[in-house]
Amino acid sequence: MKLQTPARLGLYLLMAPLLLWLVVLIFLPHVDMFLLSISEKVATRTYQTSAANYMEFFSEPLYWRTFARTAIMSIAATALTFVIAFPVSYYIAKMLRGRLKAFLFLLCLVPFWVSELVRTFGWMILLRESGIFSNLLQWSGLASGPVEMLYNDATIMVGLVYTSLLFMVVPLVSTLDSLDDALVEAGYDLGGNGFTVMKEIIIPHAMPGIVSGCIIVFMLTLGNYLTPVLLGGKDSLWFTAQIYTQIITRFNWELGAAFGFLLLGLSSLIVWAGLKISRQTLTETLG
């Protein structure tokens, strides 16, 4: 099939920004990263192709433990975000009408007008040893000395959930909005109780929104650097921090690139598994 020349030109022009974006900003860097990840430094300025960088990952427990820990905590953070965001979204989408609905939706958005760095510093002001919560506890007599609430896993989790909440609420609100109230009423009318209506009608209807929210939140969390490092400190052991260390601190680009590819593989694998378990397809979820 041949397109007429002007139509074809128009098509190319329209495609150009997309192709540029894909090739220059995504494809080329990844090719380069991949080549880096399979090269091994044998002497100064001499490299050879090998899987040594990947082997190092598996032979050093710190690396793959950090990797596994990051994956598990990201899954936990995604699940926690869902559990918190679902009632909020249901309330906004189904219980409220008109201006109050728009207002509450906007409230979820407000924290994102501030940069992530500033928001995270905000948490540090609240939670550090000399921070507001610590002083409040001492003043009220609940604690006898300063309490350090930073630099532990729970704090990292709080920060991650807080950062991710909006990205779960938006897809959930939009799918729940499209749920006809009559379906919920019919669910009750035919003898269902709150639990069965939720399980049989509301959740299946919201499934595409749930899955797309979870994918977005999971990817954001897995690739997050700022929140785990600032709130978790040296003990955060987040895999992105390992990549940073290799590339910036140790100037070992080859190992850093290999880590990057492992992270990409991991996130793809977990998203694929999530889609399989929830019996959704990517097109259904994003469409």
Partner 1 sequence: MPDDVENFDLECRELVRLYGQFAAVDNVSFGVPQGDFFSILGPSGCGKTTILRMMAGFDQPTSGDIHIKGRSVLGVPPNKRPVNMVFQHLALFPMMTVAENIAYGLVRKGLGKSEIGEKVQSALDRIDLPTSGEKKISQLSGGQRQRVAIARCLVLEPAALLLDEPLGALDLKLREHMKVELKQLQNQFATTFVYITHDQSEALVMSNHVAVMNEGKFEQIGTPQELYYNPNTAFVASFVGDSNRWHGTVSAQDKDGVKVVSADGMELLASPAGGVPLCQGAEVDIFVRPESVVLSLEEDRVADMDNRISGDLVSILFNGANSRALVRDPRSGGELDVALPQTGEFSSLKRGQVVHLGWGMAQAQAFAAKSNAA
Residues 21-60 that bind partner 1 (CB under 8 A): none
How many binding residues for partner 1 (CB under 8 A)? 17
Q: Looking at residue 225, what DSSP letter applies? A: -
- Indicate the residue among 141 and 191 with the shorter CB distance to partner 1: 191
Torsion of CA 66, 72, 74, 77, to 10 degrees: -130
Q: Are 229 and 241 contacting, i.e. CB atoms less than 8 angstroms apart? A: yes
204 or 265: whose CB is closer to partner 1? 204
* 202 versus 243: smaller Cβ distance to partner 1: 202
Q: Which is nearer to partner 1, 156 or 197 (CB)?
A: 197
- Output the smallest distance, CB 57 to partner 1, in A: 43
Q: Which residues contact 178 (CB under 8 A, 6 or more apart)?
A: 205
Shortest Å, Cβ 185 to partner 1? 6
* Interacting positions 178-237 with partner 1 (CB under 8 A): 180, 182-183, 185-193, 196, 200-201, 204-205
Q: How far is the CB of 191 from partner 1 (least distance, A)?
A: 4
50/196 with CB nearer partner 1: 196
Q: Cα–Cα distance between 134 and 40 in angstroms, integer?
A: 49
* DSSP H or E stretch at residue 274: helix 253-278
Cα–Cα distance measured from residue 205 to residue 179, given in angstroms and rounded to the nearest whole number: 7
Least distance (Å) between residue 280 CB and partner 1 = 12
Measured torsion, CA atoms of residues 191, 177, 95, 77, in degrees rounded to the nearest 10: 90
Q: How far is the CB of 55 from partner 1 (least distance, A)?
A: 47
Answer whether 218's CB lies under 8 Å from 75's CB: yes
What three-state secondary structure class fits 145? coil
Span 145-184, contacts to partner 1 by CB under 8 A:
180, 182-183
94 lies in the site for partner 1, by CB under 8 A: no
Residues 132, 140, 163, 74, CA torsion sign: positive
State the minimum distance, in angstroms, from the CB of residue 87 to partner 1.
21
Pick between residue 41 and residue 94 the one whose CB is nearest to partner 1: 94
Burial class (CB in 10 A: 0-12, 13-18, 19+), 172: buried
Beta pairing partners, 47: 41
Binding site for partner 1 (CB under 8 A): 180, 182-183, 185-193, 196, 200-201, 204-205
